Amino acid sequence: MLHVRFHPDARVWDIAECPNALDKEQWFKVLCARFGSKYQTRAGGRGFFRISRIELESAKAFRPH
């Protein structure tokens, strides 16, 4: 599971496994684009992506054009 926490204004406050080449918002957008159906919202400005290690590594290797 890859955890995400949000500011009250919905900006990403913290997100796990964020690659150095991306900021937190960009990483969240990559994950949503690839694994949006695997995201679950939680109370208190939290959520998580339920993805495998292989899926995570493929997302981290992604290089936008």
Residue-wise pLDDT for 4-55, tens only, equals 999 999 999 999 999 999 999 999 999 999 999 999 999 999 999 999 999 9
State how far the Cα of 46 lies from the Cα of 13, in Å rounded to an integer. 10
pTM over 0.85: yes
Alpha helices in 1-65 (DSSP H): 24-35, 53-61
36: domain range?
A: 2-61
Query: Which pLDDT belongs to residue 51?
Result: 98
Instruction: Give the C-alpha distances (Å, rounded to integers) separating 18 from 28, 34, 43.
Output: 9, 15, 22
Provide the number of structural domains found in the chain: 1
